[in-house]
Chain A
Amino acid sequence: MLTIADKTFTSRLFTGTGKFSSSKLMRDALLQSGSELVTVALKRVNINSKEDDILHHLDHKQFNLLPNTSGARNAKEAVFAAELAREALETNWLKLEIHPDPKYLMPDAIETLLATEELVKKGFIVLPYIHADPVLCKRLEESGAAAVMPLGSPIGSNKGLKTIDFLQIIIEQSNVPVVIDAGIGAPSDAAKAMEIGADAVLVNTAIAVSENPVAMAKAFKMAVEAGRMAYEAKLAKPVHAEASSPLTAFLTNV
């Protein structure tokens, strides 16, 4: 079981809600994924309307909402948006996204750290989306982030775990859950992330843009479970060839 702040999750697959061809299909796919934490962009929903199409389709006991601040370009905008989301959606959970670069949606490390410090003080459960930067992850942890969400590769790129060496350092050092977010393009990427010890993954584009999002959601569910099981069972280490000339023979050849 995975625990983040005050919540326990059976599923280690978190999901996004964008890019689906309809809200109904989104709901069907997310139900099938088993995901219990779904992130929703404040900019896409009308938080003051009970009839909002996306929110209406996410109204299900399986789903906990994780509002995100996509669109915010600095800490000030993100904090303001977070407060609106908390009030309207009645959750203090927040996926903190600050990407001033609208082309590659690269997260701003400095603004994210500043916003995390402030939001934690304001009582938010903050899950910051950031680069696979081990020092930044420690700084966020010290600032009270409930988890860290380093990227595998750029958002929506489906390129997989390009940052794997840094993700491994982050996982090794972290005292808070590590959720690998962004770039996971295939169930095998998700399985790999879980095998190296990630606590969870967040997937959106790879499910939403697939030809069959419902089946793909299930494939991701299985991959995440398999990867986690493999991690817990401890992977057998690859066997290396012996060196031809021994370096310690002198110890016995007296």
Chain B
Amino acid sequence: MSFLNVFETYNWDEVKSSIYAKTARDVESALKAKQRTLEDFKALISPAALPYLEQMAQLSHALTQKRFGKTMQMYIPMYLSNECQNVCTYCGFSFTNKIPRRTLTEKEILTEINHIKALGYDNILLVSGEATKTVGTDYFKKAIELIRPYFSHIALEVQPLEKEEYAELASHGLNTVLVYQETYRKGDYKTYHPKGKKSNFDYRLETPDRLGQTDIHKIGLGILIGLEDWRADSFFTALHLDYLEKKYWKTKYSISFPRLRPHAGGQLPKLEMTDAELVQLICAYRLLNEEVELSLSTREPQHLRDNLIKLGITSISAGSKTNPGGYVVAPETLEQFEIDDARTPQQMAEVIKKQGYEPVWKDWDKAFTEMAEPHVN
């Protein structure tokens, strides 16, 4: 029994049309509800909810402050490698893109983390393409060992791994794993991921189940907005979260909502999502789930990011580079995608403070995982 069994009882087209069939009355009832259901969530992400955006924002703001306080978690990505055997039609690192490939050496990793540490960060997200032979579990293990003395919290966003591999990495100090399904529309998933291991939809879909059975503390979910109808895809994300929270109740969850950005080799979004709709989605997630972390990257423009701080976001990156060695070692290499907000972490921290929020650099301690051993439940 995994999420795949739950997923298979749903039909994309039915879900989509049920969302678009929601009415103002459904939205009002969702707004009034004490405990919101997935049906309420559908109403809140439906076109019928757009006129209620201000009300949703007020609620989202209040609920987020109650749970998370007037604080904003700070994190930064570090790209380890752009080698990749997958063909993904929307990604700058896609196998067929003729770009110089680079995987950071141990020395280069140390150079990069010294720079990142000096920016004030204590929460780091390691990212790579999928090149199992050169950038596999052994490489990640080594990287985590090198990084661990410098950072209290380490997250990983790489190819899906086996349960035993996650357990092994957790025992070396890995706290969080992000694995985005990109789209839950199974029929079209293959057209975006025609070649490579990533083309296996089911294996990716079951990754959070594998993670939930290890000591990984937090799992990040998300879709790539712009591939398919964001409303239907977001419903499936919420469904996935709902399933995981009940089954793996000791695990924390976070959600991201990246919108497709320009990149080398350039597929543009098939379906655009407006800024208002992004606000709608963020607020809807918060109204559905008061506890889930909502994360915002530098993909989004400055003005929008500044205004999203109060609307439900709980963690934010700043000063990010999306290329391996991007901070010091090889700043000229090609980025995975163009970032939009190029402000420094300190500038972003000032913006956050001005809005009455405290930027939180440290919110974890190695003490809690110091004595970990590989463990699969």
Question: Could you tell me which A residues sit within 8 Å of B by CB distance?
Answer: 18-23, 42-46, 71-73, 76-77, 80-81, 84, 100-104, 156-158, 205, 208-209
Contacts and interface: CB of A to CB of B under 8 A. Distances in A.
Given A80-B367, A102-B291, A104-B291, A44 B360 contact: yes
B252 A102 contact: yes
Interface in B61-92: 65-71
A64 to B, nearest CB: 21
Given A81-B367, A102-B250, A45 B362 contact: yes
B245 A103 contact: yes
A80 B368 CA distance: 7
A102 B251 contact: yes
Contacts of B217: 102
A8 to B, nearest CB: 31
A22 B363 contact: no
B291 A209 contact: no
A86 to B, nearest CB: 12
B367 A84 contact: yes
A156 B245 CA distance: 19
B371 interface: yes
A23 B367 contact: no
B10 interface: no
B249 A43 contact: no
Size bracket of the B interface: 20 to 34
Interface centre among A45, A71, A104 (most CB of B within 10 A): A71
Given A42-B367, A71-B368, A80-B371, A19 B69 contact: yes
B291 A43 contact: no
Contact of A19 (B68, B356, B364, B369): B68
A101 B69 contact: no
Given A84-B365, A156-B67, 20 more contacts: A20-B69, A21-B70, A22-B353, A43-B365, A45-B362, A71-B365, A73-B250, A76-B371, A77-B369, A80-B370, A81-B365, A81-B368, A100-B249, A100-B250, A102-B250, A102-B252, A104-B291, A156-B66, A208-B69, A208-B70
Interface in B297-348: none
Contacts of B362: 43-46
A140 B362 CA distance: 32
Contacts of B371: 76-77, 80
A106 B363 CA distance: 19
Contacts of A43: 152, 362-365, 368
Q: Which 6 A-B pairs have the closest CB atoms?
A: A19-B69, A21-B70, A102-B252, A81-B367, A43-B365, A21-B356
Contacts of A102: 217, 250-252, 291
A45 B361 CA distance: 10
Given A19-B69, A22-B353, A156-B67, A77 B360 contact: no
A45 B217 CA distance: 19
A209 B365 contact: no
| B contact patch SS | loop
B357 interface: yes
Interface of B: 65-71, 152, 217, 245, 249-252, 291, 353, 356-358, 360, 362-365, 367-371
Contacts of A71: 364-365, 368
A21 B358 contact: yes
A73 B356 CA distance: 31
Given A80-B370, A101-B249, A103-B245, A19 B70 contact: yes
Contacts of B363: 43-44
B66 A18 contact: no
Contacts of A101: 249-250
Given A22-B358, A101-B250, A103-B249, A158 B66 contact: yes
A44 B69 CA distance: 14
B368 A19 contact: no
Contacts of A81: 365, 367-368
B215 to A, nearest CB: 9
22 contacts: A18-B71, A21-B71, A22-B358, A23-B358, A42-B365, A42-B367, A43-B152, A43-B363, A43-B368, A44-B362, A45-B362, A71-B364, A72-B368, A73-B368, A80-B368, A80-B370, A81-B367, A81-B368, A101-B250, A103-B249, A205-B66, A209-B65
B71 to A, nearest CB: 6
A171 to B, nearest CB: 27
A147 B250 CA distance: 27
A44 to B, nearest CB: 6
Contacts of B66: 156-158, 205, 209
A102 B212 CA distance: 13
B208 to A, nearest CB: 15
B2 to A, nearest CB: 21
A188 B58 CA distance: 25
Interface centre among A45, A46, A81, A103 (most CB of B within 10 A): A103
A18 B70 CA distance: 9
Nearest to B72: A21
B69 A205 contact: yes
B70 A20 contact: yes
B291 A103 contact: yes
Contacts of A77: 367-369, 371
Contacts of B249: 100-101, 103
Contacts of A104: 291
